[in-house]
Amino acid sequence: SDTFGIHVTETTECTLCHFKYPSHRFTRFFQMVPFELWRESWQRSGGQSAPEELLKGTYSRELRQCQKCSKEADVGFEVRHTLEGSKGPPGCFALLVQWLAGAASSADIGVVTHLMPLTMDLSMVVSNAAPGTIYRLRCMICLYGAHFITIAFNPAVFQWVQYDDAKVTPLGGWDGVVDKLKKGRFQPEVCFYEMVPSALLPEEYY
Ligand SMILES: [Zn+2]
């Protein structure tokens, strides 16, 4: 499939009384991932959860009023995403990291590079996707101050490459990318994933 964005049905259910808001269908082009919640769910898991579970946990909780049991105060709702079977999984999608205001520290950037999966199984993030629907990280748009750079895996040279205006710098393997981001305090903002062709072996991904 050449499509961009995940076609889902979203259901939102009160964790106290199980009231459900009407579900709706839409295309998730960007999966918003608030950095603080992401780090929290990682710390709570004691480092034991799969990256996909941490991602899912980060955006499966929502605080809002419940029209059945809590019209005044916000209560917890569980948000579930189910892939629309008729449309199938997309060719690519993107994670959008929502950072706190101000520049991120090298340590926080290190946390994100640790939590951001290089490969992920879509079936562990949304319901109704076939197990083994694997995506790999291919490209990141990163920000330092008001300056954007792009880091992408270039299969022609089989390594990660940094594109900074007209300057092109090879970075080698993923460790080289992490090093670059932490030293330059480049915050990954938009991370693009593409579906891995099923014929490809894991050692051929990067
Ligand atoms: Zn309720």
Structural domain total, the chain: 1
The Å distance, Cα 13 to ligand 1 centre, comes to 8
**Confidence at residue 73, expressed as pLDDT on a 0 to 100 scale:** 96
Q: What's residue 204's pLDDT?
A: 82
User: Domain of 144: which CATH number?
Assistant: 3.90.70.10
Q: State in Å: Cα 10 to ligand 1 middle.
A: 17
- Please indicate, yes or no, if residue 89 is contained in any of the structural domains: yes
Compute the average pLDDT of residues 92-114: 93
- The answer to whether residue 1 scores a pLDDT higher than 80 is no
Please check whether residue 203 lies inside any domain of the structure: no
Compute the distance from residue 78 Cα to the ligand 1 centre, in Å.
11
User: How far is the centre of ligand 1, averaged over its atoms, from the C-alpha of 121 (Å)?
Assistant: 32
CA of 36 to the centre of ligand 1 (A): 26
> CA 197, CA 127: separation in Å to the nearest integer?
21
Nearest to 145 by CA among 108, 117, 185: 185
Query: Cα-Cα-Cα-Cα dihedral of 164, 101, 44, 52, to 10°?
Result: -40
> Is residue 1 in a domain?
no
pLDDT in tens, 33-84: 999 989 998 999 998 899 999 998 887 888 999 999 999 999 999 999 999 9
Residues 77/27, Cβ–Cβ less than 8 Å: no
DSSP state letter for 32: E
CA of 76 to the centre of ligand 1 (A): 8
Would residue 155 count as lying in a domain? Answer: yes
Confidence of residue 28 (pLDDT cuts 50, 70, 90): confident
Checking DSSP bridges between strand 167-172 and strand 119-121, what pairing results, if any? unpaired
Q: Is residue 206 part of a domain?
A: no
- Distance of CA 57 from the midpoint of ligand 1 (Å): 20
C-alpha 17 to ligand 1 mean position (Å): 4
Distance between CA atoms of residues 116 and 181, nearest Å: 13
Using 50, 70 and 90 to split pLDDT, how confident is the model at 205?
confident
Domain limits for position 92:
6-196
CA of 172 to the centre of ligand 1 (A): 51
- Residue 12: partners with Cβ closer than 8 Å, 6 or more residues away: 20, 21, 23, 62, 64, 77, 78, 79, 80
